[in-house]
Amino acid sequence: MTTPVLQVSDLTTTFWTPEGDVHAVSDVSFHIDRGETLGIVGESGSGKSQIFMSVMGLLARNGRASGSVRVTGEEILGVPLNRLNQVRGARMSMIFQDPMTSLNPYLTVRRQMTEVLMTHRGMNESAAAKAAIDMLDRVQIPEAGRRIGMYPHEFSGGMRQRVMIAMALLCGPELLIADEPTTALDVTVQAQILDLLMQLKRDTGMAIALITHDLGVIAGLADRVMVMYGGRVVEEASARDTFKRPQHPYTEGLLKSMPRLDEHGVKRLETIGGQPPNLQDLPGGCTFHPRCRYAVARCAVERPLLRQTDTGRAKACHLDHLGDVA
Amino acid sequence: MSPAPLLSVHDLKVHFDIGRHGLLGGHRHVLKAVDGISFDLRPGETLGLVGESGCGKSTLGRAILRLLPLRGGRTMWLGQDLARLDAERMRGLRREMQIIFQDPLASLNPRMTVGQIIAEPLITHQPNLKTAEVKNRVKAMMAKVGLLPNQINRYPHEFSGGQCQRIGIARAIINEPKLIVCDEPVSALDVSIQAQIVNLLMDLQAEMGLSLIFISHNLAVVRHISHRVMVLYLGKVMEIADRDSLYANPLHPYTQALNSAVPVPDPDIERAKQRLVLTGDLPSPLNPPSGCPFRTRCPKATGICADVMPPLESVGRDHMVACHHAGPISG
Amino acid sequence: MTDVSLLAPQAEVKGRSLWADARRRFLGNTAAVVGLVVLIAITLLSFGQPYLGLRDPADINWDMISAPPDFAQGYYFGTDQNGRDLFVRTLQGGQVSLTVGFIATMVSLVIGTLWGASAGYLGGRVDAVMMRIVDILYSIPFVFLVILLTVVFGRNIELMYLAIGAVSWLDMARIVRGQTVSIRRKEFIEAAHASGVSNWRIITRHIIPNCLGPVVVYMTLTVPAVILTESFISYLGMGVQEPDSSWGTLISEGVKAMEVAPWAVLYPSLVMVVTLLALNFVGDGLRDALDPKDR
């Protein structure tokens, strides 16, 4: 068996606030294999982004992560910054919802891209520029040779996202972390970016962690899906199982509450009642029980552990089958 | 046959002057946010407006409510021309038409309590109501939209996004309006909350006989809630039809592309799908293409598209499309 | 659903307003609270001076001319070259300085807020004209204006309140205008419009309450600025006159006798510095407490 590209064990991320500690991520363990695409789904406050901010060492100053994060077997949580810098950007890189957060508005794209190659790869200026143009070509930016001299704000939203993807791919990372990469884009442009990611996944064989709140985005791209709620993993399964046979009431509720374009006839949308959890005041027992239609007395007192239910799938729920108690 | 329209919009235009207003003139660009849009809205009907950023859907919603000045065209409200009303009569009419916003928290004044926020339209139009009566009406309204009436003295920041949207809805319906413009009302909400708000709007519509103009970029939500759907692109109508024909039989290449671009939460369908991916980006609304605005990204575009903007033509019952090459998706 | 509804279905829950939040944060800030206490103490002492059974500020003690502090006889700050009790005179000077600070700040608050909110809300041409007027007033050299006023109307204290107030509202107007312009685009203003709420009500109910945060902070910065301005003018000899005093005149006189009686400049300066520091701490505390980014 090969070592996974990313192995996260017992990751807990805590933020210190004047109102008390907030556990954004609690005891999360998972792995991503080589060439695999893992979809991470959850609502706001589910901790889905903070997992990867912890992995990348990008937590806000009041945040602390504990546990273990291994990139191709090497522990990177808590290592000195210069060691971490050799890993991030080179072996794993991250793209964000808003490309402007990771592009410097005062530097040309050329300057920003060549800088990465010159520091990480030790290339000279002209070789770096050539590699950068190749990469822009690869993410299908027309006239890359001319456009590389432009500033980030001169690109449209979709093109900017492509530039950011190109920058993330410069050093040939084994893992690309994409945090809501299409959320800010129009739907036709989103389709273009999703197509691009699919193509890159096929061509490069790199692993992708795709973080999103939109189940539709994951359906086409992910091999496996991890569903987050209140800072914990509630379900983990292959994409097909997640969408066709969800085992956790939250996953089931999410799928049912989405209006679908391919469905005919108007029926009332099924809903998940209540409000998303407040991380500062999480309910006891199962975090989801106040909103769960299957909840039984046990759910309020005992927190279900993530347990294996089948080969390659797991859930954190006391029930064995949904529909046991209706 | 069909009842008289509640609202009748004819050739509506909203243009913005962008650029310098300096003494020396400077460059002056005109942004044609809404450029010649016409439609009728029947009582109790939901009209969905879909389109991507810059298509003018939000501008259109605000222009209908006369929150923005018109460059041309007419909006008739139950037969009277809104543009001819003086400020005082217009203010009186405002109790009949309301708006719900995308960002629920930003649409509520952070310094006011929920009770004060919901009561504001009521006391604006009925200043003589007794305080106790206002409070009762507000509490009744809170219960109606699924908020606990005992939370009346709380402030917006103490509520979640979905609850804030409910507060916004309570404020919109307290005067029992005839029309509500919903400007992306669920886009900022979590998936599990979106369905709650969509259901609430549909229930309220059935109960109060409201007409809704539902603006969204999410085609699936629009399909779910609307009776008729209008597709906009760079300030112009591309296609307008009743819901079922628009989704089952889209005739405009843009509608077809939009439909195909929406990801479906089903891996089998999603992977097998022949996606009709548009090339290129949206053109700048400041400098739209000549002729048909969609021609730069259109797979069917020919020479005529660059010269002539195709007129919006009826192609069937309740189905109009503006395309020289309108037709079902080919192979 | 939630336990709140089960426990008390009828009882109305009290809300936690943004102001209450800010108060809680402010009270948690030690420096700001200490500053506030010091400020209150100095204000009470200054204005309570006639009722505290202290010496009359005009009393002259011929035995103690330019005497150093003497606790046994109750001359805590010593005396000046006329044998008057410096402690009492400092308190008396505080009345003038604090009054100037307060009145000028109030003038700037009222004029500045209304001017700025109107310009920002009405926008367009009205805004342009109103803000150009502010620019023109800005360009008049302040000291020159005061000199001119004293030459024409003679020296009097009311005139100085007026002059300082007339100048200090300019900054306030600019701050409030900037705030208003950004708040005007918020959706809750649009919602009020769509409901038919009148312009006046939108300004007073929606815009001004949401501008108040930065305004309050700026006020605490205006007070020390005004006190310094008053001291400066009095130091130049154009402000308060004998036998009245202000911190500025006391320091000015003290400087003249600095070599023989250093306490005469030291103590009034010290009181003034402590007051200004306290005001700045309070201002910082308010800024942190009201800063929405903290949320």
* Chain C neighbors of A274, CB-CB under 8 A: 1
B95–C contact, CB cutoff 8 A: yes
Is A261 in Cβ contact with B259 (below 8 Å)?
A: yes
SS3 C112: helix
User: pLDDT above 90 covers what percent of chain B?
Assistant: 68
Predicted local confidence at residue C4, as pLDDT: 41
> Which of C202, A262, A196 minimizes the C-alpha distance to B265?
A262
Q: State phi, psi for A57 to the nearest 5 degrees.
A: 70, 35
The verdict on residue C36 lying in a domain is: no
Residue of higher predicted confidence among A263 and C189: C189
What pLDDT is attached to residue B1?
47
Looking at residue C289, its amino acid is A
Q: Where is average pLDDT lowest: A114-118, B69-73, B132-136, B282-286?
A: B282-286
Tokens of C79: 């005396």
pTM above 0.90, yes or no: no
Higher pLDDT, A280 or B246: B246
Domain ranges of chain A: 6-101+172-315
What is the predicted pLDDT for the residue at C295?
A: 38
CB contact (8 A) between residue B95 and residue C195? yes
The mean pLDDT value for A164-193 works out to 90
Chain A residues with CB-CB distance to C1 below 8 A: 273-274
Residue A326 pLDDT > 70: no
**Domain assignment present for C17:** no
Tell me what the pLDDT averaged over chain B comes to: 90
Interface check B157 vs C, CB under 8 A: yes
Name the closest residue on chain A to residue C25, using Cα atoms: A18
% of chain A exceeding 70 in pLDDT: 98
pLDDT the model gives residue C87 = 87
Give the C-alpha separation, C289 to C18, whole Å. Answer: 10
Is residue A98 scored above 90 in pLDDT?
Answer: no
Average pLDDT over residues B18-27: 56
Q: Give the model's confidence band at C8: pLDDT under 50 very low, under 70 low, under 90 confident, else very high.
A: very low
Residue B187 sits at the chain C interface (C-beta within 8 Å): no
Q: Strand locations in chain B, DSSP E?
A: 7-19, 28-41, 46-50, 72-77, 80-81, 97-100, 179-183, 211-216, 228-233, 236-242, 313-316, 319-321
Q: How far is C190 from chain B (nearest CA, A)?
A: 8
Residue among C196, C198, C205 minimizing CB distance to B95? C196
pLDDT confidence of residue A325? 42
Looking at residue B102, its pLDDT comes to: 92
Q: Quote the CA–CA distance of C267 and C76 in Å, as a whole number.
A: 10
Minimum CA–CA partner of B54 in chain A: A186
CB atoms within 10 A of CB A5: 25
> Over chain C, what is the mean pLDDT?
82
pLDDT band at C10; cut points 50, 70, 90? low
Question: Mind listing the pLDDT tens digit for each residue in C193-223?
Answer: 899 998 888 988 899 888 888 888 888 888 8
Does residue C294 register a pLDDT over 50?
no
Query: For residues A283 and B21, which has the higher predicted lDDT (pLDDT)?
Result: A283
Q: Which residue of B has its CA nearest to A225?
A: B267
Interface of A to C at Cβ within 8 Å reads 18, 273-274, 290
Looking at chain A, the whole-number percentage of residues with pLDDT higher than 90 is: 58
Tally of structural domains, chain C: 1
ipTM of the complex: 0.86
**Under 8 Å between Cβ of A216 and A225:** no
Structure-model confidence comparison of residues C3 and C180, the more confident one: C180
- CA B168 to chain C, closest CA, distance in angstroms equals 9
Task: Evaluate if residue A306 carries a pLDDT over 80.
Answer: yes
Q: How far, in Å, are A164, B264, B299, C94, C225 from residue C255 at the CA level?
A: 65, 82, 86, 18, 21
Render the burial of A51-60: b for 16+ CB within 10 Å, e for the rest. bbbbbbbebe
Asked whether residue C42 is domain-assigned, the answer is no
Chains that touch C (3 or more CB pairs under 8 A): A, B
Per-residue confidence (pLDDT) for residue C6, from 0 to 100: 39
| Any domain includes C32 | no
Task: Flag whether residue B295 sits within 8 Å of chain C, measured between CB atoms.
Answer: no
Taken as a whole, chain C contains a residue count of 295
CA distance C206 to chain B (A): 7
pLDDT on residue C7 = 38
In a domain, C104, yes or no: yes
Closest residue, chain A, to B226 (C-alpha)? A266
In the predicted structure, residue B279 carries a pLDDT above the cut 50: yes
Judged against a pLDDT cut of 50, whether residue B224 lies above it is answered with yes
Segment A83-105 shows an average pLDDT of: 87
Domain that holds residue C96: 50-294
Helix (H) or strand (E) holding A188: helix A187-204
pLDDT in tens, B101-122: 999 999 999 989 999 999 999 9
The CATH architecture that domain A6-101+172-315 belongs to is 3-Layer(aba) Sandwich (3.40)
Residue B311: predicted pLDDT: 93
C138-146 mean pLDDT: 80
Contact A188 B265 (CB under 8 A): no
C32 to chain B nearest CA, in Å? 24
Q: Touching check for B291 and chain C: CB below 8 Å?
A: no
Of B195, B224, B265, the CB nearest to A216: B265
Report the pLDDT value the prediction gives residue B19, as an integer from 0 to 100.
62
Q: Which tokens is A299 given?
A: 């759910």
Task: Assign residue C111 the CATH number of its domain.
Answer: 1.10.3720.10
Residues of C in contact with B112 (CB under 8 A): 205
pLDDT of residue C220: 82
Token pair listed for B143: 């219960």
